[in-house]
Amino acid sequence: MTTRDLVLIALFAAITAVLGLFPALTLPITGVPVTAQTLGVMLAGSILGARRGGLALVVFLVLVAVGLPLLAGGRGGAAVFSGVTAGFLFSWPVAAFVIGWLTEKAWSRYALLHAVSINVFGGILIVYAGGIAWMVAVAGIPLDKALYGSLPFIPGDALKVIAAATAAVALKRYQQHPLGQSA
């Protein structure tokens, strides 16, 4: 790991924290807040690649676990990892890693459609799978209610997918993408 890698990992952990400053809107059906932080997950994977993107989210979650109020609404501490939203949180490093890995594999032909598809898979499907599975298994929410309760998140997540994909493709176009320098 180079100093540059460490700086990029810290930077994307910080970006994810800053995205938590946007006011959260909690949905009554599931109790899960709508936040901008999954944009940080998508950006970390799309821009940093698998290893660094996943590590950025691990660093972020460690900071949350030690009590820093970095989640939407100023939440932090170990208790958030046992709540109804914990499955979403646990999925973030996995999602960033998968987005990064798929981006690395598609790099030679990487374009907006690839970027959108990759971010939908990692940033929506993987995150939702982890979050919904946790709600069903740990919080005791019936699967149909958890699935139905997740529907209102899709429009916002689609906007985040477009933003992350556009940023990654633009960086590639201008040869400033970190993957092009040391993946």
SS3 106: coil
- Of the pLDDT bands very low, low, confident and very high (cuts 50, 70, 90), residue 56 is very high
Per-residue pLDDT of 93-140, as tens digits, reads 999 999 999 999 998 889 999 999 999 999 999 999 999 999 999 989
Which residues lie below 8 Å from residue 75, measured CB to CB, with a gap of 6+?
Answer: 64, 69
* CATH number of the CATH domain containing 164: 1.10.1760.20
Given a cut of 50, whether residue 141 has pLDDT beyond it is yes
pLDDT digits (tens, 9 = 90+) for 70-84: 998 889 999 999 998
Per-residue b/e over 143-167, b at no fewer than 16 CB within 10 Å? eeebeebbeebeeebeebbbbbbeb
CA 112, CA 145: separation in Å to the nearest integer? 33
Enter the tokens of residue 180: 């092009």
Query: In this prediction, what percent of the chain has a pLDDT beyond 70?
Result: 91
| Across 1-26, average pLDDT | 92
Q: Name the domain count of the chain.
A: 1
**148 pLDDT more than 70:** yes
Q: What is the pLDDT of residue 108?
A: 86
Give the pLDDT confidence score for residue 62 in this predicted structure: 98
- What 3-state DSSP class applies to 177? coil
**Length, in residues, of the chain:** 183
pLDDT of residue 25: 74
Angle at 153 between CA 120 and CA 133, to 5 degrees: 75
- Give the structural domain span for 83: 3-180
Give the CA diameter of the chain. Answer: 48
Report pLDDT for 172.
84
Is the pTM value of this prediction over 0.85? Answer: yes
pLDDT: which is higher, 109 or 23: 109
| Residue 13 phi, psi (nearest 5) | -65, -40
pLDDT band at 29 (very low <50, low <70, confident <90, very high): low
Burial class (CB in 10 A: 0-12, 13-18, 19+), 20: buried
